[in-house]
Structures are given as structure tokens and as C-alpha cells.
Amino acid sequence: MKKQTAKKNSTTSKRAAPAVRATKNASAKSSYSPWSISIYVYWFIILFFIAATFYILGRSHSTCIDTATNNVEITEEALLQPVDYYTNARDKLLAGNTTDAIADLTTAIDAGNATADMYVLRGEAYMQNADYRNALMDFNSALEIDQVNAVAYYDRALLNIRLEDYNTALSDINNALAAQTAKPSDVLQMRDLYAKRGQLNLWLKNWQGAVADYTNSLARPEGTVDHSAYANRAEAYTQMGNYADAINDYATAIRIISEQIQGATTDSARENLSSSAMTYFEKSAALNLANGNTVAARSDLDSAYTIAAALMDTASMDRIQNMINELS
């Protein structure tokens, strides 16, 4: 029995051995299969490309954001052309922002190929800031570029008026008139140029020149007639002893004011116009009295007093009342 059992076990062992070897061989084949190795390699490559793709996409997104941000900055600053700075400066100057206007115009000028208009506008900004030295330099630079720039001459005349250099201002106004005739500017009107020269002649006591300039100004068809043109011509007539024409001009100035008051939109504007009319009535009264026309003088003083009372100007009321009493 033992022999048989041993034999069976031996047989079983012999039969089992190939199975074990087969299992081992299968296990070995499974452990070192080329396909098994390639699967890991493939997964590694796939994961590498996935990671690389996300990295590249992340960098690309970041770059797009930076580029977008840079584009916004470029649009607002770096891509602005000198003409854009000029336009922005003009708007800022109209809004009263002289500092930023000067900065924009300086950028436009420093960019090269500066125009006369750029220098003129910056000169106006400097003049508003009472920086007369830089304003004068800019107006001179504008005229070096464009010798028939009427606006540059006119602005320089205004600057010289502020400096009380009336003779130099008069020379600039003469040049402005000539330049405006040769190359008209939409910014200026001949009416205003003649009126400004009339004012200078008045200050320089050139009465006949003042009368001629104001007459030319009033004869121009463009623009709006200002009451001060008639009043200033009346002043020149008065200095020449031509009281009748002076009285007529004061009457016309008062008529213009009465029309302008109807269209005035603020109380301040109406008060300023009324104050001017009161002054003209007083001056007309003095001229009528000088001519011996006491009735007309009394009428003018009564009108002046009425305006003073409406303005609640007690000082003027007292002064005019004293004049009425003396006339009576």
C-alpha cells in the first residue's frame, strides 16, 4: 500500500510538475512581457503630453491676459498720435484744466513735427496760468513756423496788453489784421480785430484812429455787435468834442443792452448789462448838460436812477439823486 501510495504521489508529482512549471513560466511571461512594459511607457507619454498641454494652455492664457492688459495701456497712451494729444488738450483747456492741457501739448510738441497751432494753444494755456514768459515763447515759436498765423499775432497782442505794452500790442494787432486778410482763420473775426485795435487806439489817445476802427468793426457783417463798441466810440467822440455823435452812440449802446437783457439767461448777466446801461445814461446826461439840453439830461438821470434802484445800488442812487438835485 505504501508503495502504491508513494507511486501515486510520485505520479501526481510528476504530473503536477509541468503544471507548476507552466504556471511559473506563465507568471514569468506575464511579468516580463514586452506589452506590459510598453503600456507603462505609453501611459507615461500620454500623461506627459496632457501635463504639457495644460502648461502650454496656462502660459497662453496668461500671455493673452498680459497682452490684453498691454493693449489697453497702448490704446490710451502709447498709440495716441500728436494730433490726438492736441485734441485732448483743446478739450481740457476749454474745461479749464490748464495743467493737463499743457502736459498733453508738450507731449505732442516733443513728439516732433510740431505745428503752429500746437504752440498757439499751449501759449494760451500758459497765458491763462499767468505764465507770460512761456506763453510769449510759444507764440514766437508759432510765428516762426507760420508767419501769417493771425491767431498767434492776436494772442500775442492780448499778452502784451496784459503786460501793458500797448504799442507792441498795436503792432501785433496790425499784423493779425494783415494775416487774417491773407489767410483767414475761422477762430477770428475781422469785427473783433478792428474793435481790439480801436480799444488800443483809445488807450493810446489816438481818438481818430479809435473812431475809424470802431466804425470798421461795426460795419462788419459777421458776428454779434457788442454794446461796448458803440460806448467806446462815444468815448472817442467825446474826447474829440463831438458830443452829438457821442450821445447817439450811447443811446444805441443802451438800445442794444435792452435787447440783450431780454435774452440773458442768468441774473448775473442781466445785472452786468443793467449796470453798463446805468453808466451810459449818466455819461449821456453829462453830454446833454454840456450841450445845454437840461431836459434830456434830466431824463437820462431819471433812467439811471431807476436802474440803480432796481439793482439796489444805494451808492449809485445817492450819487445820481445829488446830480438830479443840482440840476433842479
Instruction: For residues 308 and 321, give the distance between their C-alpha atoms in angstroms, rounded to a whole number.
Output: 10
C-alpha cell of residue 64 = 493673452
Mean pLDDT over 156-175 rounds to: 97
Confidence of residue 29 (pLDDT cuts 50, 70, 90): very low
User: What DSSP character marks residue 112?
Assistant: S
Is pTM beyond 0.75? Reply is: no
Residue 250 confidence (pLDDT) above 50: yes
Q: Give residue 319's pLDDT.
A: 96
Amino acid 215 reads T
Q: Which of 35-39, 112-116, 140-144, 280-284 has the lowest mean pLDDT?
A: 35-39
Residue 16 pLDDT > 50, yes or no? no
Cell of 281: 445814461
DSSP 79-143: T--HHHHHHHHHHHHHTT-HHHHHHHHHHHHHTSS--HHHHHHHHHHHHHTT-HHHHHHHHHHHH
Q: What is the dihedral of CA 59, 61, 66, 71, to 10 degrees?
A: 140
What are 311's three cell numbers? 439793482
- Report CA 129 to chain centroid distance, whole Å: 14
| Domain architecture of the chain: domains with CATH | 79-146 (1.25.40.10), 245-328 (no CATH)
Distance CA 318, CA 295 (A): 20
Q: Return the amino acid letter for 317.
A: M
pLDDT more than 90, % of the chain: 66
